[in-house]
Amino acid sequence: MEQTNIQRIVLGLSGGIAAYKTAELARLLIKQGISVQVAMTEAACHFITPVTMQALSGKPVLTSQWDDGGSGMPHISLSRAADAIVIAPATADFIARLAHGLADDLLSTMCLARDCPLLIAPAMNRQMWEHPATQRNIAQLKADGVIILGPDSGVQACGEEGLGRMLEAAQLAQDIMANLQPQLLAGVNILLTAGPTYEAIDAVRGITNRSSGKMGYALARAAREMGAQVTLVSGPVALEAPSGVQLVKAENALEMFDAVKKRVAECDVFIGVAAVADYRVAQPSAQKIKKSANNLTLELVPNPDILAYVAALPNPPFCVGFAAESENLRVYAEQKRAAKKLPLLAANLAQQAIGADDNELILFDDAGEHLLPRSDKLTQARALLNHIVKLRGTIKLEGTAR
């Protein structure tokens, strides 16, 4: 299970059709190891039942300020126990009440009495969103320090199209984590490579590998959560780039090398996660090579070593390498780190990691080995980035959530 610095979230629902998305949001937050306490307005119960949210969260859903479990003041006890309150969906009416400090039900009272960050995900018709009154209320909430997530543009339940849709659950989960993580990498520019490369043989065939890109994309997401400016140079993968990350697509090693060279001068940290093909075909055919009974000989030439190039620059960024080995993991990893003069190298067994959702990493640095026990790749990414922060020694680990 993924681990995070955020432990407890109150997830509040006001009365909008987008409440169906909040069920998936609750599931995604719980998947990240977060305890979710759901609170709903009376109107919200007309769109999704408390029974559904209770089944997903594993906790009784609160719909009234008298549903307190005995404390008598749930608006105080719940807000004090939470690391954040998230309102999704936040209707135009609920936003107006927040902006004016009204507190006539459990959820609005909890928001007024809170001692933690408040995040809201607006959801309404496009004309309601664009109305001057709503925009004044949003401006006031921003001035009060409330974090606004969205809205998105698209087809709405009423059939109209425009700005006002609540963000999708996966996007919301990422944005919530990005806004609540300690910003240990604020102001740091990170450039990383991910995925495989594809070296063409002819118009339809090529040389590639089984890298899924999952580890690199997890690192990009985790770095963004921690406040970094992230550029992700990615080979061909079936993954969506994390929110807030600049994606640069590269099909082959030469394209990836060119993309890195253009951007490396601006980065503080370079992480080479991509499984770059060691060789490419010297003369790929523009047309499909027809099958025959004769043997086919391909001349392969070496691809540039992107990580070695970056590490050898006169004023290199902090360089982190990855090594996927099938045997002699420690020996080969240390040899690679020494040959490229890397301050940090993360190594794993290829047969256990490539394409998998979890992994076990061994970090090698000047102090020795550091084992990151097997867990999901986002957890591994967060742990690796925290280790980078320690090694760089320029940012204290006692960061605070923004």
In a domain, 344, yes or no: yes
Rounded Cα distance, 304 and 279, in Å? 9
Rounded Cα distance, 274 and 260, in Å? 12
Across-strand partners of 189? 229
Q: Please write the tens of the pLDDT for every residue from 354-393.
A: 667 788 899 999 999 999 988 888 889 999 999 999 998 7
CA distances from 242 to 28, 83, 112, 193, 239 (A): 15, 23, 32, 14, 9
In a domain, 260, yes or no: yes
Distance of CA 6 to the CA centre of its chain: 14
* Number of domains within the chain: 2
Rounded Cα distance, 14 and 97, in Å? 11
DSSP 8-class letter at 55: H
Tell me: do 227 and 319 sit in the same domain.
yes
Q: Answer yes or no: 116 catalytic.
A: no
Question: Is pLDDT at 197 greater than 90 in this prediction?
Answer: yes
In a domain, 401, yes or no: no
Which tokens sit at 105? 């039900």
Q: Please write the tens of the pLDDT for every residue from 278-323.
A: 999 999 999 999 988 888 899 999 999 999 999 999 999 999 999 9
220 with 233: CB under 8 angstroms? Answer: no
Side chain identity at residue 182, one-letter code: P
Tell me: do 171 and 203 sit in the same domain.
no
Final residue belonging to a domain, choices 159, 180, 201: 180
In a domain, 2, yes or no: no
68 with 54: CB under 8 angstroms? Answer: no
CA distances from 211 to 193, 204, 217 (A): 12, 20, 12
Q: What is the DSSP string of 94-155?
A: HHHHHHTT---SHHHHHHHT-SS-EEEEE---HHHHHSHHHHHHHHHHHHTTPEE---EEEE
Mean pLDDT of 172-192: 90
Range of the domain at 85: 8-180
| Catalytic residue selected from 45, 111, 116, 158 | 158
